[in-house]
Amino acid sequence: MKQFRALFLLLVTVAMVASACGDSEDTTPETVVVTVQVPGDTVQVPGDTVTKIEERIVPGETITFWSTETNPERLAITQGIIDKFTAETSVNVTLVATAEDQLPELMITNAASGTLPDVVFHPIDFTIGWAANGLLDTNASQEVVNELGADTFSAGALDLGTYEGNVAAVPSDGWGQLLIYRKDLFDAAGLDKPDTFAKIEAAAAELHDPGNNFFGITASTDGGAVFTQQTFEHFALANGCELIDDGGTVTLDSANCVEAIEFYTNMMENYSPGGVQDVVTTRATYFAGQAAMIVWSPFILDEMAGLRDSAFPSCAECTADPAFLAKNSDFVPSFAGPSGAPAQYGQVSLMGITTGADTGNAQAFVKYWLSEGYLDWLSTSPEGKFPLRKGNADNATAYVEGWQSLSTGVDRQAQLTDFYPEDIISALVAGTDGFSRWGFTQGAGELVAAVYTSLPVPRVIRDVLDGALDAAGAAAEAQAAAEEEQLLLQD
């Protein structure tokens, strides 16, 4: 019990509210409500990061669940799922909210002390590295997938999370990055759907009109932002530019990568608003009706429909119809460069069962999460939590159908299908089968995490735009930085 108390105090001390992917402009910290189930013990919590500790003295078996979803509303829904699971199985679950950026250190620290949680909800960024370091029970996760049916999961999500032949953690939900474009303007100009580099550039050049404060495209150019990494990586993957090859060699100085950097920086320099663009300014430009295209996560979908006051469309037509942009935009999940094949950047969240866990009860909880509790979980943010388990043995599309009926929004609630055609929504979910990312399929999850921490790629993109480097020089600098990170990981 002393070990449990020390673990709990450490986790709560660092707990904070992390914004959802695509909402990173919300930087004001909120307090966290953590519900704790403590069999026969009392916990004293220092600091002011926790608003309320609800102690429940409960009999029977208990497992511990860490979740990076620290928003109070999402915690409440999570606790509701846990309560139903406990009522059905008599297995208690201790819910602990942890900050996502603290997870790597927490996992290592608690592995050393033998106090890892039984189950951890986490992003794909950490999965392969944890598996390689023996922190995840990949056999246990593979058994869950086998029992639920591998064919019921997104193939792309399973591929990204596979390590040495086993699924390292069980896919829960995810989102795929989108190129969004003004279909009304494209149709009026007779432009093709922008699903290749050539078509993207042709459309940007045709519609770019900076004299009237209208731009061909807006996308992130902030040299210190993960959002820039995510956005550029989408273009890089589309052109066959990879972080590392199957042999473990960093390949950021390849011809494909030079070509991708050259295309991206050319688009941002010649057809985008000037200055540094980020998650806030890109959305603001598109919402003001001042851009023909934007690259963003699907977390923009409810906002584009006018369901969130703090990110409300402001285009001229939006005054009469706040959902004007939603009704007049279309989506390109995957596009291709001249040296690549269609690709879509995807972010996946998973349920990991740790080594040393109460395996049977942990597996039971994960299976419940992905079945009876699944739609409750997806309801926390349907526009950014696409179901990575699409159905079950009785209905192959049960969870997709259920997800489509969920309401989304912040200040107002509606279904996505109230604004977007069902075929578009179905296509967005189908895109999860083809999710791509740098490094994971090559088993280089640790290097991915390092590159996402030091952000050499966004930095060199910014340097090109500032005139300090050309594309070849940028690729060479990114290569050197990634190789240095790789050496540090090997020490």
| Tens of pLDDT, residues 466-488 | 999 999 999 999 999 999 999 99
pLDDT at residue 66 greater than cutoff 90: yes
pLDDT digits (tens, 9 = 90+) for 246-305: 999 999 999 999 999 999 999 999 999 999 999 999 999 999 999 999 999 999 999 999
The SS3 of residue 200 is helix
Both structure tokens of 472: 């070849």
What type of residue sits at position 207? L
pLDDT at 6 over 50: no
Confidence category of residue 34, pLDDT binned at 50, 70, 90: very low
Question: Comparing 222 with 46, which gets the higher pLDDT?
Answer: 222
Given the structure tokens 């915690």, which residue do they identify?
Answer: 75
pLDDT at site 60: 63
Beta-carbon contacts of residue 28 (< 8 Å; ≥ 6 apart): none
pLDDT digits (tens, 9 = 90+) for 86-119: 999 999 999 999 988 788 889 999 999 999 999 9
Instruction: Give me the pLDDT at residue 410, please.
Output: 86
Mean pLDDT of 201-211: 98
**Torsion over CA: 200, 202, 207, 213 (sign):** positive
pLDDT per position as a tens digit, 412-449? 999 999 999 988 898 899 899 999 999 998 888 889 98
Q: Where are the alpha helices (DSSP H) in 90-210?
A: 103-112, 124-132, 138-148, 155-160, 183-189, 197-207
For position 251, what pLDDT does the model report? 98
Q: What is the DSSP pairing of strand 344-353 with strand 170-176?
A: antiparallel
Closest by CA position to 434, among listed 160, 150, 151, 148: 160
pLDDT in tens, 317-357: 999 999 999 999 999 999 999 999 999 999 999 999 999 99
Residues contacting residue 264 through CB under 8 Å, at least 6 positions apart: 219, 232, 235, 461
Count how many residues are written for the chain.
491
**Per-residue pLDDT for 208 more than 80?**
yes
Give the position of tokens 């419940």: 368
Distances in Å between the alpha carbon of 392 and those of 68, 152, 172, 370, 404?
26, 6, 14, 10, 16
- Predicted confidence at residue 404, as pLDDT, reads 92
Question: What are the chain's domains?
Answer: 2-175+347-420 (3.40.190.10), 176-344+444-490 (3.40.190.10)
DSSP H or E stretch at residue 435: strand 435-436
List the helix and strand counts (H, then E) for the chain.
20, 16
Measured distance CA(171)–CA(475) in Å, rounded: 33
Q: What are phi and psi of 475, to 5 degrees?
A: -60, -40
